[in-house]
Structure 1
Amino acid sequence: MDVLQQFANFAPKKKGDPAVLLLSGGLDSATLLALMKALGYTPYALSVRYGQRHSSELDAAVNIAKIFGAHRHEIIDLDLRRFGGSALTDSLIDVPTNGQANPHPELEGEIPVTYVPARNTVLLSCALSWMEALGGKDIFFGANAVDYSGYPDCRPAYVKAFEAMANLATRIGVEEHSIRVHAPIIDLHKSEIIQLGVALGVDYAKTVSCYQANAAGQACGVCESCRLRKLGFSEAGMIDPTIYQDNSGA
């Protein structure tokens, strides 16, 4: 498949190798699951109930894992609400719903309130533990440094640093120095991610990206995640299949 040529560096060392994916239920991680299958991995999907505002994305993750044949899907509980510090885990902090989505917010020197303190480090550590228990050497997650919210744990330098740490902190890393942490879409615009997913057969109507979706999985249409998602479909020249609350996607 031609679409896979640009991802040759992310292919498994051996067809069928196990790899762990952080599967949120959103657009990016759903695309990665489809990509992993196409590249020839045996995917193990890990979702985390970390105290986010809704469970709709986890419901979506369950469906996505089934659709793309994750070999195994685990949902673990890790309540980051006890720490707070983010609009996604603290009900006293409002999710921002005004202003235009800024594809390069880091230039403004501000990290948005939707950043969950050290979330990717915590979640990737769980993925690393499962990966080593499986005897695997590969982890995938949907970090993106182009159309993203300015999170420090979505940068290429962070991915490289976590991979280095993984090879220092695990038995398989010390013995073989072979652990790889993959972020294949880190340099892609949201429109390019959508085009990739469509080519791989992803039905984005089944994904949930919204920071504050309702129980039915309907998106608010006004949070930054929704804005970036809508912009991505627009720039890709595709119809946005997202179901929005009160026609907010119009």
Structure 2
Amino acid sequence: MGMRNAICMVSGGVDSVTTAYYVKKEVSPPKLELIFCNYGQRTAEYERFCIERVAELLGAKLRTIDLQWLGQISTSLLTKQVPLPETRIEDLWDPEKARQRILKWWDPCRNAILLLVGLAHAESYYISSGERYDVYIGIRRETPVPMKDNTPAFIEEMNRLAEQATHHGGYRILAPLIQLDKDRVVSLGEKLGVPWKYTYSCYAGAGWREAQGERLPVHCGTCSNCRRRFLAFKEAGVQDPSIYLAPPG
């Protein structure tokens, strides 16, 4: 079958950028394409900023897909310009509070849609040029309660769908970080040389600040994702270069 090219679905976060670096350096596909989807998320400009720089550093093609219709039908706070609830660090590990948080951040069918976008591009390339592409995504199981579309079972189902949804079949949807805790993702990313200042995790979006010789996006420091990011770097023993509006720890 020969070497397969790679499409990485990227959001600009720690997990997706580490996945892109893993694919580039460990898988070493002949061609690497990053796909960023704008679904109306409130932090799209910060994410896009990071991904543009990551694509340049990796020498990868970057494609942006407009999915703003998804944000228009979503009830997720990620797509609404409203104040976000603060999450205490101790609440991150409370299963009941985690269940209560899920719907606040849930966009309808988002990860399935993202993977189908990647799969559609992979099929188009194969039909037009005979080149095979695998589709990668940086999802992983969050503790203590995983979202259903962040699990190995979800990836298995998407691979089954890929066989039925494409003419030729033979496409692969891969999530290499799916079994890793976030601190292990940070450790892996550090080993791979991920430029952490070009990753963005915040749910809120907190503006820009001049730092490290350039204009960089700011994390709020109080949303659940900022807390998880802060703890992951701390537990991995890796310096976190993020700019936080409020201390996350």
User: Could you tell me the TM-score, scaled by structure 2's length?
Assistant: 0.85
Q: Take 1:26 and 1:215, find their aligned partners in 2: how far apart are those partners? A: 16
Q: What corresponds to 2:125 in structure 1?
A: 134
Q: What corresponds to 1:10 in structure 2?
A: none
Q: Take 1:149 and 1:74, find their aligned partners in 2: how far apart are those partners? A: 32
Q: Take 1:103 and 1:86, find their aligned partners in 2: how far apart are those partners? A: 21
Q: What corresponds to 1:35 in structure 2?
A: 22
- 1:195-225, CA deviations, whole angstroms, 9 ceiling, x for partnerless residues? 1111111111111111112342100011111
Q: What corresponds to 1:6 in structure 2?
A: none
**Partner SS state of residue 6, structure 2:** strand
Matched, 1:74 2:63: yes
Q: Take 1:180 and 1:106, find their aligned partners in 2: how far apart are those partners? A: 35
Indicate how the Cα distance of structure 1 residues 69 and 53 shifts in structure 2: closer, same or farther if over 3 A, else same: same
- Structure 1 unaligned runs (5+)? 1-12
TM-superposed deviation, 1:244: 1.1
Counterpart of 2:183, as a letter, is S
- Structure 2 unaligned runs (5+)? 127-131, 209-216
TM-superposed deviation, 1:241: 1.1
Counterpart of 1:125, as a letter, is L
Q: 2:98–2:144: 8 Å Cα contact kept in structure 1?
A: no
Out of 56, 64, 73, the position equivalent to 2:54 is 64
TM-superposed deviation, 1:239: 1.6
- 1:103-132, CA deviations, whole angstroms, 9 ceiling, x for partnerless residues? 574896543411211111111111110111
Matched, 1:98 2:98: no
Matches within 5 A, 1:135-150: 135=126, 136-147=132-143, 150=146
Matched, 1:18 2:16: no
Indicate how the Cα distance of structure 1 residues 215 and 133 shifts in structure 2: closer, same or farther if over 3 A, else same: farther
Q: 1:144–1:188: 8 Å Cα contact kept in structure 2?
A: yes
TM-superposed deviation, 1:40: 1.2
Indicate how the Cα distance of structure 1 residues 146 and 22 shifts in structure 2: closer, same or farther if over 3 A, else same: same
Q: What corresponds to 1:182 in structure 2?
A: 174
Counterpart of 1:19, as a letter, is A
More strand by share: 2
**Partner SS state of residue 150, structure 1:** coil
TM-superposed deviation, 1:249: 4.0
- 1:100-159, CA deviations, whole angstroms, 9 ceiling, x for partnerless residues? 353574896543411211111111111110111122241100111144873221111111
Q: What corresponds to 1:158 in structure 2?
A: 154
The range that moved more, 106-115 or 22-31, is 106-115
Q: What corresponds to 1:167 in structure 2?
A: 163
**Partner SS state of residue 105, structure 2:** coil
Q: What corresponds to 2:37 in structure 1?
A: 48
- 1:37-80, CA deviations, whole angstroms, 9 ceiling, x for partnerless residues? 1111121100011100121011111111111111x110111112
Q: What corresponds to 1:202 in structure 2?
A: 194
Q: What corresponds to 1:213 in structure 2?
A: 205
Q: Take 2:195 and 2:133, find their aligned partners in 1: how far apart are those partners? A: 29
Q: Take 1:180 and 1:238, find their aligned partners in 2: how far apart are those partners? A: 32
**Partner SS state of residue 78, structure 2:** coil
Q: 1:106–1:150: 8 Å Cα contact kept in structure 2?
A: no
Counterpart of 2:28, as a letter, is G
After TM superposition, the runs of 4+ consecutive aligned structure 1 residues lying more than 3 A away are 103-110, 146-150
The CA RMSD measured in Å over matched residues stands at: 2.1
Indicate how the Cα distance of structure 1 residues 185 and 106 shifts in structure 2: closer, same or farther if over 3 A, else same: farther
